[in-house]
Amino acid sequence: MDGGTGDSGGDGGGGAPVGVQIQQSRRLPDFLQSVNLKYVKLGYHYLISNLLTLCLIPVMIGILIEVSQMNPEDILQLWFHLKYNLVSVIICSAILVFGSTVYIMTRPRPIYLVDYSCYRPPDDLKAPFNQFMEHSRLTGDFDESSLEFQRKIVQRSGLGEETYVPEAMHYIPPRPSMAAARKEAEQVMYGALDNLFNNTNVKPKDIGILVVNCSLFNPTPSLSAMIVNKYKLRGNIRSFNLGGMGCSAGVIAIDLAKDLLRVHRNTYAVVVSTENITQNWYFGNKKAMLIPNCLFRVGGAAVLLSNKSVDRRRAKYKLVHVVRTHRGADDKAFRCVYQEQDDNGKTGVSLSKDLMAIAGGALKTNITTLGPLVLPISEQLLFFATLLVKKLFNENVKPYIPDFKLAFDHFCIHAGGRAVIDELEKNLHLLPAHVEASRMTLHRFGNTSSSSIWYELAYTEAKRRMRKGHRVWQIAFGSGFKCNSAIWEALQNVTPSPNGPWEDCINKYPVKVIS
């Protein structure tokens, strides 16, 4: 669990007045002020790595045009010419075969997103504001200052009245236990997987790769082993369990599955992204640790990936790029989202007052690397030209911040809190329509950690806005500190799958969120 993209109303420390100390630190830095050249170079390195493919395409088009214009006499003349130049023919053929072999062997295998499913909790787990505050008061663990702090956080968080908390938190007093945490994990993971298998008609035995990510709950046997046992997956399955990686772990899991699918042919991979709240509710009075209680809610997603060419016809998306940024070498970044005990021995996740500044730095690094991979040539030239002028002639020249709206049709910004969505909308010059999916996901489901980007994608599909060829940018932040991006391209006019999370309520959205 990662509270790193928290709300706009809290402070970063013990008993400071609400909304005072982090007021200056909660905003993202202005990306116009500095851009690190080495990350631009990294992005261009990725681009140049595919230069052979980019050069071969126009050559092949030119050859096809020439061949299409030839008549039978031209073909006969070419045959007589080749007949008396056997050595040239052999050399050209060898070069052609060698080049084709190298291209086929080194070409990345396409990764298809066949379908995905987001878990929809039962209605009896809903936690309206008044119920949330009343339960917090009745536990007896929070003093009046902490209760008032939580009330203000919840009111300003961007969450609606229909988010969900786990069953153990509905009792008075709450009943967090290992058994209750396992029950929450089972309900979320199995609920998402059951729906995924039903919608895709894929048998569990066909799954060759399984990646599960959950940051704070890592029992023995692991969550991935629980899934293997439940669905009786095959004995040679390659299973992985990612823990402690925060809200951006969903993209990391996709990246791991992608690498594995490019090695192991003709198979399916399932990625399960979730977080577990039951044993990670904070029952103390340190303000920096109370924010996650107010933001995090029950949720999870299961994603089916494939490297089978036959699945292209039915797949919803193709994976285009994954760009990962890790700032863990910096001590402030490493500790800005930190699980620890307070002075009274109560365990929770502490959020630094420098969190938004650190998130902004990670985001800037990530998009600087991502830009050369996705932006139109015109935007890249403008960006690179102004950067060159700044480096060589005038340090006061502000770098040109490219228009990412030209590269992407849809944005799935991790629904960590209202403040981070506001700041990304501002810094990336996005329109309200571009962040609608993020705001509505936060309102309806709260911060579901690494799975939030899938609820957002499901929102876009439910609104019937996803057309063939559209590009989607999923971006998430996580403890460590990390900022990760995944880029998808729609292979068809995508419609929502059955039993989606927005199925019975999409017509109510968008709603106006009270600031």
Instruction: Give the alpha-carbon dihedral of 249, 250, 251, 254, to 10 degrees.
Output: 120
Does the active-site annotation cover 45? Answer: no
Task: Identify residue 430 by its one-letter amino acid code.
Answer: L
Does the active-site annotation cover 170? Answer: no
Cβ(206)–Cβ(286) under 8 Å?
no
Does the active-site annotation cover 483? Answer: no
Mean pLDDT for the stretch of residues 180-185: 97
Mean pLDDT for the stretch of residues 240-259: 96
**Which is the catalytic residue, given 414, 434, 483, 484?**
414
* 21 pLDDT more than 50: no
Model confidence band, residue 7 (pLDDT cutoffs 50, 70, 90): very low
Cβ(466)–Cβ(490) under 8 Å?
yes
pLDDT in tens, 310-324: 999 999 999 999 999
**Which is the catalytic residue, given 195, 447, 483, 484?**
447
pLDDT in tens, 106-132: 667 899 999 999 999 999 999 999 999
**Which is the catalytic residue, given 214, 326, 434, 483?**
326
What does DSSP assign to residue 481? T
When comparing pLDDT for 41 and 207, which is higher? 207
Does the active-site annotation cover 470? Answer: no
Rounded-to-integer distance, Cα 303 and Cα 319, Å: 12
Q: What is the pTM of this model?
A: 0.82
Rounded-to-integer distance, Cα 328 and Cα 58, Å: 42
Residue 366 makes CB contacts below 8 A (sequence gap 6+) with 323, 324, 325, 475, 483, 484, 485
**Which is the catalytic residue, given 214, 247, 336, 483?**
247
Does the active-site annotation cover 443? Answer: yes
Name which of 13-27, 140-154, 496-510 the model is least confident about: 13-27
Neighbours of 479 (CB within 10 A): 27
Residue linked to tokens 């849809």: 410
Mean pLDDT for the stretch of residues 248-252: 96
**Which is the catalytic residue, given 241, 443, 483, 484?**
443
Predicted confidence at residue 393, as pLDDT, reads: 76
Distance, first Cα to last Cα, the chain: 25
DSSP bridge pairs for 164: 126
**Which is the catalytic residue, given 410, 427, 434, 483?**
410
pLDDT in tens, 286-312: 999 999 999 999 999 999 999 999 999
pLDDT in tens, 138-176: 999 999 999 999 999 999 999 999 999 999 999 999 999
Does the active-site annotation cover 447? Answer: yes
Mean pLDDT for the stretch of residues 474-486: 95
Predicted confidence at residue 51, as pLDDT, reads: 55
